[in-house]
Amino acid sequence: MLGVPCSTLRTWFNVEGGRALNFLELLEAYTIQTLRARHQLPMRKIRKAIDYLKKETGEAYPLAKHDLGFETDGVQLFVTRMGKLVSASERGQLAWREVLQVFLERVDYDASGLALRFYPFTRDFRTDGPKSVVIDPAVCFGRPSVAGRGIATAMVASRYKAGESMAELAADYECEQALIEEAIRAELDLQAAA
């Protein structure tokens, strides 16, 4: 779903053996990949920012917290602290604003500001990309699913590959064909990346 090799994810999170990422690690990996791919932030700046945020906030997964107010200018990662924009990439230096709004709009948070679910980009980080696919640990065991339907994208793609048309699937699941198309696209991309 992230378009990142497993070996890279293991490096980012010091994962050994066959342990899978938990939901918050998955969300942080998604944030990191967004920052790297869409905003061309180098991994060293991101690591520096994460280390700074962990130390300053005491949060184990600071990139999964909404109330830290993440923003970027394409060079550094910033957070809002006491009403001021601070460069987390430069260990607390004050900075100018450039909002990472598109990413923040794709994550739903609980009342405490912790990420609940997110809607991954399914079309190369396009700002107008639909929120058709969701990853929610409370739905489909955290596997990608059709947003608002609770239908695993793997199931939809499997039925499509078995010969059912998108129109038939849309009628069967009582949803718009565009949702089915996006679910199939996302799942087939995911399978191709594996």
Tens digit of each residue's pLDDT (9 = 90 or more) over 22-81? 888 888 888 888 777 776 777 887 788 778 778 877 888 877 776 555 555 454 555 555
pLDDT at site 51: 82
DSSP H stretches of helix in 19-165: 23-37, 43-57, 101-104, 153-161
Q: What is the pLDDT of residue 29?
A: 86
Phi, psi of 27 (to 5 degrees): -65, -40
Instruction: Give the integer Cα–Cα distance in Å for 62 and 50.
Output: 7
pLDDT tens figures, 2-29: 778 888 888 888 877 778 888 888 888 8
Question: Where are the domain boundaries for CATH 1.10.10 in the chain?
Answer: 119-194
Q: Which residues of 178-189 are buried (b: 16+ CB within 10 A; e: fewer)?
A: ebbbbbbbbbeb
Cβ-contact 184, 123 below 8 angstroms: no
Among 166, 132, 129, CA closest to 147 = 132
What is the pLDDT at residue 73?
Answer: 47
Is the pTM higher than 0.75? The answer reads no
CATH number for the domain running over 119-194: 1.10.10
Q: What is the pLDDT of residues 141-190, one digit of tens each?
A: 889 999 989 999 999 999 999 999 999 999 999 999 999 998 998 888 77
The average pLDDT across 101-121 equals 79
Q: Which residue has the higher pLDDT, 90 or 64?
A: 64
